Amino acid sequence: MNKKNLLGILMVVIIILAGIIILIGGTKIGQKNNPNLGVVVTPMPTKIAIETVTLTANGFSPSDLKINSQSRVIWINNSGTQASVNSDPYPYNTKWVFLNLGTFANGSSVSTVFAKPGIFTYHNQLNPNQKGMVTVK
């Protein structure tokens, strides 16, 4: 066999190997090949549930909210004045830092996603008698 034939065979082998690598390596993490269709299927992300808590002059409503993990809670301020959502304990707000959403004006809102199960208590820092709790399953 001469060099030309050997080089030709080597090129064919490289092209075949490159095609195999492209076909096999085209799947990204989190995707699944569907051999029946010959296409890559990407799973759709699950939707986040959204729950609402309203703050009025009388306090948070509902004051005891039960949700699933990965749910978003939106607090809407209809109290007629500036308010806040802060983690217990008052006045230090240190138990669940992600719940220190700060002050927000009447008519506006703040929100957070509860990623893990647990019982999370909070209060309005500007009126600590207004309290609430979120229980995450």
Confidence label for 25 from pLDDT (cuts 50, 70 and 90): low
Domain 50-136 sits in CATH 2.60.40.420: yes
Query: Quick one: what percent of the chain has pLDDT higher than 70?
Result: 75
Asked if the model's pLDDT at residue 84 lies above 80, the reply is: yes
Each residue's pLDDT tens digit, 29-78: 444 544 555 555 555 556 789 999 999 999 999 999 999 999 999 999 99
Per-residue pLDDT reduced to its tens digit, 96-115: 999 999 999 999 999 999 99
The domain segmentation of the chain, as residue ranges, is 3-41, 50-136
* CA max distance for the chain: 93
- For tokens 């809407």, the residue is 76
Residue bearing tokens 């993490």: 29
Name the residue among 14, 13, 77, 51 with its Cα closest to residue 137.
51
Q: What is the distance of C-alpha 57 from the center of its chain?
A: 31
The pTM of the full predicted model, rounded to 2 decimals, is 0.67
Q: Would you state the pLDDT for residue 43?
A: 59
Per DSSP, helices labelled H in the chain are 3-25
pLDDT at 121: 98
